[in-house]
């Protein structure tokens, strides 16, 4: 579906992006802009920032065509896009810029003083500001992409990928889940998730499918109405959303042919329930991780017997997997070999997943049956899913230990009143007079995303904490 | 305190929006301009229910009602009227 004259070494052209934007229905900005001129304006404004090739541009925008415009404009101008939540605080963006060598920020509305600037620059319908704290520009190469792994590996960690390998991953995903040019893909997950940008937006780019973009808050009734009104044929959701749909219990509207669920464990009971909600439809259980580009394995649950509904299926074409350090129960860490793996990890990270070029240690424990189906059994890595968002305990430790007077921070996973995961934080204070739970709470506020914030903070004097060891 | 002002204070105090309340426009998009994300909307709903002593049903928890401070203000007013009529 891509045009024959892509930019050198990039694999996509300006016309490809304009064509994608032209076949995108943006429910978050229904008034819309003419895709061609709007994209050219975003591209021209970005070029006026005069960033060196290979410089990251942080894009802190909500879902919408404006995000896709800036993302692909950054790539076509030789920069390296890094999409982050629009709720990211200026303190965290500043630190991200320092760790990942970013040169500019694009957001809907920017207070330039927070970034040491006296004015904002135009960036299409949004705003931009240079980030001098990022240091020397051009840390990466044109055609590369940064994707945050703050939820799994640390608050300022990211994966460096190449766009062409992400597009390859999107093609493999489209084959695995049967996306066609006449499909209409609904994106309701945030586009700063690797799954949404690769397995949905880039999948539409390479297959010619239509996109329908929506944004929060998620509401099951509105989701159903969107499927009906916009003739959505393919949708991807998280297990959290799946549970909301199951609670509602109403069959999904007829236009929906294909539903994909991934991002966390889905029980066999939920798989069976989702099959009942979409009789005759296709249900795909997906597994992947940003480090792998991101898609790794798929279970076409509608074609499988019930005893396989606990599985995430088998690897995509040209992706191979192995288990290492396998125990007597057959459970071991999944190692993925793929040519869509990250180039390298950048920023301070809790773990280095790249064992060799193209070989990723996932940190996830699996069992594999005789037919090659993978069954998730737990995690080696240090993260937890809180209300659908991956939260790195390393990130929380990392943030808390920057607070003066905090010697050690110990996050612990707990359950809240609704039975959902949450994190409690124990602070070992070297200065117990200065460090209080309220002070820690205030200090963490600009550093942590909402899902990362501890439910409860307990301060213990360092001496007392040491006595309990 | 007027409903809109209370919502602005909730956005700063509980949703951690960085835009000062005096720079928030009542028709600014909560999602685009103020950067409220999915978990932020959940917090905004809970805090609005508590601050205004109302219930916001799942049916009312929509992108349309939570589009702007103005649209949320209108929803709060409607829910308060329903609550008052029920007394």
- The per-residue pLDDT for range A346-384, each reduced to its tens digit, is 998 877 899 999 999 999 999 999 999 999 988 887 788
Query: What is the pTM (predicted TM-score) of this model?
Result: 0.88
Which pLDDT score is estimated for A6? Answer: 46
Cβ within 8 Å of B, A 54-93 = 60-62, 64, 66, 85-90
Positions of CATH 3.30.300.30 in chain A = 383-467
Asked if B37 lies within 8 A of A61 by C-beta distance, the reply is no
Question: Looking at the predicted structure, is the pLDDT value of residue B24 above 90?
Answer: yes
Positions of CATH 3.40.50.12780 in chain A = 163-379
Task: For residues A364 and A383, give the distance between their C-alpha atoms in angstroms, rounded to a whole number.
Answer: 11
**What is the least distance, in Å, from the CA of B1 to any CA of chain A?**
25
Asked if B19 lies within 8 A of A111 by C-beta distance, the reply is yes
The architecture in CATH of the region B3-86 reads Orthogonal Bundle (1.10)
Question: Looking at the predicted structure, is the pLDDT value of residue A174 above 60?
Answer: yes
Q: How many CB pairs under 8 A join A and B?
A: 84
For residue B63, give the nearest of A89, A109, A215 by CB distance. A215
In 3D space, the residue among A212, A219, A210 whose CA is nearest the CA of residue A245 turns out to be A219
**What is the least distance, in Å, from the CA of B33 to any CA of chain A?**
5
Nearest Cα residue in chain B from A388: B39
Contact status, residue A366 vs residue A331, Cβ threshold 8 Å: yes
A199: which DSSP letter?
Answer: I
Kindly report which listed range (A48-57, A149-158, A183-192, A329-338) carries the lowest average pLDDT score. Answer: A149-158
Tokens representing A114 are 């927070």
- Domain ranges in chain B are 3-86
Which pLDDT score is estimated for A275? Answer: 97
Q: Which residues, 6+ apart, have CB-to-CB distance to B56 below 8 Å? A: B45, B48, B49, B65, B75, B79
Asked if B35 lies within 8 A of A88 by C-beta distance, the reply is yes
Question: Looking at the predicted structure, is the pLDDT value of residue A148 above 90?
Answer: yes
In 3D space, the residue among A395, A365, A363 whose CA is nearest the CA of residue A149 turns out to be A395
Report the pLDDT averaged over residues A102-108.
97
Task: For residues B41 and A218, give the distance between their C-alpha atoms in angstroms, rounded to a whole number.
Answer: 9
Q: Is A14-142 assigned to CATH 1.10.3470?
A: no
In which band, very low, low, confident or very high, does the pLDDT at A451 lie, cut at 50, 70 and 90?
Answer: confident
E strand or H helix that includes residue A100: helix A90-100
For residue B62, give the nearest of A90, A108, A219 by CB distance. A219
Q: Which CATH number fits domain A383-467: 3.40.50.2000, 1.10.10.60, 3.30.300.30, 3.40.50.150?
A: 3.30.300.30
Asked if B18 lies within 8 A of A220 by C-beta distance, the reply is no
For residue B43, give the nearest of A61, A114, A450 by CB distance. A450
Work out whether the CA dihedral A43, A46, A48, A54 comes out positive or negative.
Answer: negative
Nearest Cα residue in chain A from B24: A109
Work out whether the CA dihedral B51, A415, A195, A273 comes out positive or negative.
Answer: negative
Which pLDDT score is estimated for A101? Answer: 97
List beta partners, residue A128: A106, A121
**What is the least distance, in Å, from the CA of B43 to any CA of chain A?**
9
Q: Which residues from chain A sit within 8 angstroms of residue B16, using beta carbons?
A: 87, 89, 445-446, 450
Task: For residues B63 and B74, give the distance between their C-alpha atoms in angstroms, rounded to a whole number.
Answer: 14
For residue B40, give the nearest of A87, A107, A111 by CB distance. A87
Going along A200-358, which residue ranges are E strands?
A: 210-213, 234-237, 258-262, 282-288, 295-300, 311-315, 320-324, 332-337, 344-346, 354-356
In which band, very low, low, confident or very high, does the pLDDT at A310 lie, cut at 50, 70 and 90?
Answer: very high
Q: At what angle do helices A268-277 and A239-248 cross, to 10 degrees?
A: 60
Q: Which residues from chain A sit within 8 angstroms of residue B41, using beta carbons?
A: 216-217
Question: Looking at the predicted structure, is the pLDDT value of residue A468 above 90?
Answer: no
Q: Which CATH number fits domain A163-379: 3.30.1510.10, 3.20.20.70, 1.10.150.250, 3.40.50.12780?
A: 3.40.50.12780
Q: Which residues from chain B sit within 8 angstroms of residue A66, using beta carbons?
A: 32
């Amino acid at each position: 579906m891509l045009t024959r004259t892509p930019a050198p070494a990039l694999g996509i052209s300006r016309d490809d992006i304009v064509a994608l934007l032209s076949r995108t229905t943006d429910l978050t900005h229904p008034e819309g802009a003419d895709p061609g001129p709007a994209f050219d304006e975003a591209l021209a404004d970005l070029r006026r920032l005069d960033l060196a090739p290979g410089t990251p541009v942080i894009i802190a925008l909500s879902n919408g065509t404006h995000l896709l415009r800036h993302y692909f404009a950054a790539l076509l101008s030789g920069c390296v896009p890094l999409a982050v939540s629009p709720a990211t605080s200026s303190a965290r963006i500043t630190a991200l810029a320092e760790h990942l060598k970013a040169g500019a920020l694009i957001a809907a509305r920017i207070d330039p003083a927070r970034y040491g600037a006296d004015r904002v620059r135009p960036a299409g319908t949004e705003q931009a500001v240079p980030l001098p704290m990022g240091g020397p520009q051009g840390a990466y190469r044109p055609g590369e992409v940064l994707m945050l792994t703050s939820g799994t590996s640390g608050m300022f960690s990211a994966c460096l990928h190449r766009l062409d390998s992400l597009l390859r991953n999107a093609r493999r995903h489209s084959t695995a889940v049967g996306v066609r040019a006449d499909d209409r893909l609904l994106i309701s997950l945030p586009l700063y998730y690797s799954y949404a940008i690769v397995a949905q937006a880039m999948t539409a780019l390479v297959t010619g499918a239509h996109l329908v973009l929506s944004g929060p808050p998620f509401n099951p009734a509105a989701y159903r109405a969107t499927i009906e009104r916009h003739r959505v044929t393919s949708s991807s959701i998280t297990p959290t959303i799946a549970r909301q749909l199951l609670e509602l219990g109403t069959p999904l509207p007829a236009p929906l042919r294909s539903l994909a669920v991934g991002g966390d464990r889905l029980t066999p009971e939920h798989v069976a329930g989702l099959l009942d909600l979409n009789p005759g439809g296709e249900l795909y259980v997906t597994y992947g991780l940003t480090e792998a580009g991101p898609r790794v394995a798929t279970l076409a649950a509608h074609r499988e017997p019930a005893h396989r509904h606990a599985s995430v299926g088998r690897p995509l074409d040209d992706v191979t997997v192995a288990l290492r350090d396998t125990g007597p129960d057959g459970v071991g860490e999944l190692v993925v070999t793929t040519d869509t793996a990250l180039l390298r990890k950048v920023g301070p990270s809790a773990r280095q997943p790249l064992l060799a070029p193209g070989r990723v240690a996932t940190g996830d424990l699996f069992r594999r049956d005789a037919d090659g189906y993978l069954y998730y059994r737990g995690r080696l890595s240090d993260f937890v899913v809180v209300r659908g968002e991956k939260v790195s305990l390393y990130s929380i430790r990392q943030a808390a230990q920057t607070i003066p007077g905090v010697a050690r921070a110990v996050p612990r996973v707990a359950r809240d009143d609704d039975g959902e995961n949450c994190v409690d934080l124990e602070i070992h204070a070297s200065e117990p007079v200065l460090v209080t739970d309220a002070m820690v709470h205030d200090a963490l506020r600009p550093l942590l995303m909402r899902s990362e914030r501890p439910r409860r903070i307990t301060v213990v004097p360092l001496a007392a904490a040491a006595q309990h060891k | 305190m007027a409903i809109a002002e209370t919502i602005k204070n909730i956005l700063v105090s509980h949703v951690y929006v960085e835009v000062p309340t005096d720079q928030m426009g009542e028709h600014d998009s909560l999602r685009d301009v103020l950067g409220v994300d999915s978990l932020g909307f959940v917090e905004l709903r809970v805090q609005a229910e508590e601050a205004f002593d109302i219930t916001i049903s799942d049916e009312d928890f929509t992108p349309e009602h939570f589009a702007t401070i103005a649209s949320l203000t209108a929803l709060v007013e409607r829910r308060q009227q329903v609550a008052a009529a029920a007394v």
